[in-house]
Chain A
Amino acid sequence: GNSVTQMEGPVTLSEEAFLTINCTYTATGYPSLFWYVQYPGEGLQLLLKATKADDKGSNKGFEATYRKETTSFHLEKGSVQVSDSAVYFCALSGVGGADGLTFGKGTHLIIQP
């Protein structure tokens, strides 16, 4: 079956630091890949997506590239802010979406001023 593995943290960084959150996946065929963010007490917000190999998703300064050869979709941001503190989930959707989204365990990111 499908699976997603990501670093769980917590990851603590200073403001303006460079961020990388690793995500690797196992899936058959060519899944679509996503990063979602969950702020305290809220539901999940779609951060970015990529639907085929070598696609780069980007939003709000965050980027991730769909790497088929390494089955990875690492999230990066050049300069984090305190407001980026949240839990980040890597997820995949198999072709057709029948099994819903498969999520990683989530990475708790803490940005200190």
Chain B
Amino acid sequence: EAGVTQSPTHLIKTRGQQATLRCSPISGHTSVYWYQQALGLGLQFLLWYDEGEERNRGNFPPRFSGRQFPNYSSELNVNALELEDSALYLCASSLAPGTGAYEQYFGPGTRLTVT
């Protein structure tokens, strides 16, 4: 069974540009979570999507946004990039909430570098 996949592996952008990151969940998983792993800040929860809707977001500004498609894949968009957005962005998928199974399975990540 295929795991969570993310693309691209690496992304280099300049300050002020927009970045788009993509994620495909494990088959059968309807929830997708996004996390930022920045140096010195650890892993921080960004966004949660389930059944095509944004269900919750962490403490990040509105220029971090995304969406979930009917096939449950997801996109993370970061607008007006700042240098401190440089980080590893991890996507995770899980079964639907209410199933009692809250473990999340992670993809390999997208390394975003803002210059």
* Interface set of A (CB-CB < 8 Å, partner B): 32, 34, 36, 42-46, 49, 51, 89, 93, 96-106
Contacts and interface: CB of A to CB of B under 8 A. Distances in A.
Contacts of A49: 103
Contact of A105 (B42, B46, B100, B107): B42
B43 interface: yes
B56 A100 contact: yes
Interface residue range, chain B: 20 to 34
A42 B106 CA distance: 10
- Which 9 A-B pairs give the minimum distances between C-beta atoms? A100-B45, A93-B102, A103-B43, A44-B106, A43-B106, A43-B108, A97-B102, A32-B102, A98-B56
Interface in B81-111: 90, 92, 94, 97-98, 100, 102-109
Contact of B109 (A43, A51, A104): A43
Interface of B is mostly: strand
B95 to A, nearest CB: 10
Interface of B: 4, 6, 31, 33, 35, 42-43, 45-46, 48, 55-56, 58, 90, 92, 94, 97-98, 100, 102-109
Contacts of A43: 4, 6, 90, 106-109
B114 to A, nearest CB: 20
Contacts of A93: 102-104
A103 B42 contact: yes
B90 A96 contact: no
Nearest to A97: B102
Nearest to B105: A46
Contact of A101 (B45, B97, B98, B107): B45
Most buried by B among A43, A51, A98, A102: A43
Most buried by B among A97, A104, A106: A97
Contacts of A106: 42-43
Contact of B106 (A45, A97, A99): A45
Given A100-B33, A101-B33, 17 more contacts: A32-B102, A32-B103, A36-B106, A42-B109, A43-B107, A44-B90, A44-B106, A46-B105, A46-B106, A93-B103, A97-B48, A99-B56, A100-B35, A102-B45, A103-B42, A103-B43, A106-B42
